[in-house]
Chain A
Amino acid sequence: MKTTIPAFLRNLLGAVSLALLVPTALADAYNARLPDEINTAPDLCSYAPCSEVLPGATEFSERKGRPFYVEGYAQRDGRRELVGYVMLSTDITDIPAYSGKPVVTLIGMGPQGHFAGVKILKHSEPILLLGIPESAMVKFNEQYLGKFVGANIEVGRTRPGEDVIGLDAISGATVTVIAQNQVMMASGGAVARQVGILEPVVREPARLKETGAALDWGALVKEGSVKRLTVRPEQVGLPRDGGAPFIDLWFGYLNQPDVGRTLLGETAWRNLMTQLREDEHALFVLRSGGRESFKGSGFVRGGLYDRVQVRQGSDTFTFRDLDYRNLYGLAAAGAPAYDESAIFIIRPEHQSASFSAAYPWKFVFLGNRVDRATGQRSFANFDTEFWIPAHYLEGGRPAIKKPTPVWLRVWQTRALEIGLFAVLLVAVAAVYAQRDRLTRASTHKNKWPVNAFKYTAWVISIGYVGFHLMAQPSITQVLTWFHALLFQWTWELFLTDPFIFLFWIFIIVTVFLWGRGLFCGWLCPFGSLSELLYKVGGAIGLKRYQFKLPQALHDRLKWIKYAVFFGLLAVSVFSMTLAEMLAEVEPFKTTFLVGLFNRSWPYTLFAASLLGLSIFIERPFCKYLCPLGAALAMPTTFRWFGLKRKQECDSCKACAKGCGSLAIDKDGRIDPRECMLCLDCMVLYTDDHACPPLAQERKRRTKAGLPLTPIGADGYYIPIKPVPAAKPAAA
């Protein structure tokens, strides 16, 4: 066995180190600093490139409507002609993408409701920063051009039978594009409904029932007729104010007679109802805490209350000064003290939409969130759902078919692949659970009973899991979980990638059962590729160039991966973005997600060098650099079932010599944190021609003419115990 590093490999390592130091160009829109006015200024198009998303338009109106949009015009034959509409996605929705932040998108739509242009102004998606070029997202957005806003557009395959138009996803950025599709359809739909391109949703009016029950404030809150919406300073990026809320609002629906009378008193309620038309609805709002006004000052200038609105389905209802009434007092006993109040009237016919109290709706407070990292402001919506209690409706609440959540649709559309993947995971675990049988069926010279399963797992893992499903677990997922645990855990985010989700369940279970080796040694796509290259290299005549590092050097270098892991963890506390960038120490993205030839040269060189090195050293990345391996090695300390050893292992070096992971020390002890569970030592354990103590015993017995009994669980021949001859039966 050679123990020195060949010179050309030393040079290669040097080149890799240099390449890693080369700075890479950052993506254009990644955390781009947008002018504050883009969110607030009436002339949106002075701050946003509207003409880029609405070709032909030369003039733009000010922001109008609710939610906001602008109209684009062109001069034709001396006349101003409407060319279409432009909207800023964050004026309409704050659907977050993978980063937890929305992708700020400028969308153009033709006068007939066809998408005319899309431009991403700002995003915080780490995958678009380093992994996938932004051009992929531009290409994804181009798929919308010319498509009708009212069409059923989804990420995935086109299903003509179901009238679904499919969009090609971006491999490795599924969550991002699913969120982007929601943003596009929600934004386009909201504007299209306002301008009359899409028909408003017609909702059956509520048939309210009067029960005559005597109620107080507490009872109203308990039954859900009065709801609360509290926004804390932290939620808008402000420092905590001794526990005081940013704003604390109560609201409720006044048309229901029992509720309206209880809250306003008989006379005031009757007066209010006489002012309403049949399809108009009143709700009260009061502020019991916080210093922020829910009325704001916008209505003074534009006659519009810009801090509160009501949403039902995809329809938004806003309030103008004419929709406002004074709330002079509350008659309900037990009502909290308040210092700002209002009655708002929902007038659906003014807003080309129908409102029905029979269906759930949301009361929305529109705030500004200050990003603590950048200081930038962005719109943030805070809402509370309201659904009138069933006993106030004739016939109770109507049945509502809620749309299938995005994550569930992903599971449904990829059911077969998910099933196959789950079978793979269960099969590998089941095979490993039978390791004793497999290793006993193997010998030092013929390990195929073990290797047939292991090599099959590698090939499936590389081809199907790695390249096809792109389900390569990564340290970034560990960091994301760590942060999600601290800040906001959303199951949907993790469920949207079913393969990674299932893989992690497998990893967590098997790490505690057997250690990290089953994942790292049998199923990690990159690890499998790395060791397969080593095996293939050996098989094609490169064995004489293959070498192991000296044990002493290995014992020092193995700590690097822990340093990398802790370094990333520490950096992530301060900057997740930087941690994501540094996580490029994992060549997984380059190898499987983006492709070796689709990235800038430093990344390609790094990944290719590691794979090239793997031909000569067994799993160099896994042993010395992999932060995910380090993260999994730590709980491996407490795995339940380790590998077997004999007392003679303390002086025998047979297993240690053949251990590719260098996980067996001079005393014959296995380091579970370094072990890849290749099972080579377990094959030896019961091989009476290869395990020295067993071979010795075999020879002794053969010489003495004693039978070779089966080998027991302890790795030794079952002792021969002479059975006393049966006494002859008494005569």
Chain B
Amino acid sequence: MVNPTMPTDPVEPPYAGHGTLGLIAAEIWDHLWPWSRRGFAGQRALQAAGLALAAGATLMWVLAALGRLEAGAIIGWWFGWSVFEVVVRLGSKPYVKEGPWWGRRYRRATLMDMLCYVGFKNLLIGAALFIALKSTGLLVL
């Protein structure tokens, strides 16, 4: 039976039953770490490539912090990584939150849901890193 109160079927991530602090910690980890053990077993090659790409993206931010990368290159890398993260997450953590961010309702993510989630999350992370690098004078555009 379909649950019409959510745009997609409800899902319970492994940490759904954790206490408040445990849930917050698990969600922070979820935002930053797109891989999962289950997903890794299912898409081994893809996940491995994802790890390599993540290393590349991290290196890119380090280079940016050292002032050795142009803004266009940073945006390109970040965009590329975001596309890949969508694919990885759809295999490893295919859910998004439904309703208030402080709530405990999760649902299965469609491709569009995941695009929205990764796009929005990475925009915020990217903006925060950009501002941090610029305010410390490490990045001049």
A residues lining the B interface (CB < 8 Å): 232, 234-235, 240, 243, 485-488, 573, 634-635, 637-638, 640-642, 644-647, 649-650, 667-673
Contact = CB atoms under 8 A, between A and B. Distances in A.
Contacts of B75: 486, 573
B140 A667 contact: no
B137 to A, nearest CB: 9
Interface in B1-52: 1-8
A637 B4 contact: no
Contact of B101 (A232, A637, A640, A668): A640
A243 B139 CA distance: 10
Contact of A485 (B67, B98, B101, B130): B130
A638 B141 contact: no
Interface string B54-94: 00000000000001100110010000000000000000000
Nearest to B98: A642
B97 interface: yes
B4 A638 contact: no
A635 B99 contact: no
Contacts of B4: 645-647, 649-650, 667-669
Contacts of B113: 637
Given A232-B140, A234-B140, A669-B2, 19 more contacts: A485-B127, A485-B131, A487-B141, A573-B72, A634-B115, A634-B119, A637-B112, A637-B113, A637-B116, A638-B96, A638-B97, A638-B117, A638-B120, A647-B4, A650-B4, A667-B2, A668-B4, A669-B6, A672-B7
A642 B130 CA distance: 33
Nearest to B72: A573
Contacts of B2: 650, 667-669
Nearest to B75: A573
Q: Which 7 A-B pairs have the closest CB atoms?
A: A668-B4, A637-B116, A649-B4, A667-B2, A634-B116, A645-B4, A650-B2
B116 A638 contact: yes
B127 A640 contact: no
Nearest to A646: B4
A204 B71 CA distance: 47
Contacts of B96: 637-638
A672 B7 CA distance: 8
Contacts of B1: 647, 650
A458 to B, nearest CB: 27
Nearest to A639: B99
A507 to B, nearest CB: 15
A365 B19 CA distance: 59
Indicate the size class of the contact surface on chain B. Answer: 20 to 34
Contacts of B131: 485
A644 B97 CA distance: 17
B117 A487 contact: no
Contacts of A243: 67
Contacts, number: 72
Given A486-B71, A638-B97, A638-B101, A645 B5 contact: yes
Nearest to A637: B116
A640 B99 CA distance: 4
A436 B70 CA distance: 52
A641 B99 contact: yes
Contacts of B68: 240
Given A634-B120, A641-B100, A669 B7 contact: yes
A488 B71 CA distance: 12
A487 B7 contact: no
A512 to B, nearest CB: 9
Contacts of A485: 127, 130-131
A568 to B, nearest CB: 15
A486 B141 contact: yes
Contacts of A668: 2, 4
A570 to B, nearest CB: 9
A652 B126 CA distance: 44
A451 B120 CA distance: 33
Contacts of A641: 99-100
Contacts of A644: 5
Contacts of B8: 669
Contacts of A670: 7
5 contacts: A485-B130, A486-B71, A486-B75, A486-B130, A670-B7
B7 A234 contact: no
Contacts of A645: 4-5
Contacts of A650: 1-4
A642 B131 CA distance: 33
A487 B71 contact: yes
Contacts of B72: 573
B101 A234 contact: no
A234 B127 contact: no
Contacts of B5: 644-645, 647
Nearest to A513: B100
B107 to A, nearest CB: 10
B139 to A, nearest CB: 9
Contacts of A240: 67-68, 140
Contacts of A672: 7
Nearest to B121: A638
A487 B140 CA distance: 8
A183 B112 CA distance: 48
Nearest to A667: B2
Nearest to A672: B7
Nearest to B141: A487
Contacts of B3: 647, 650
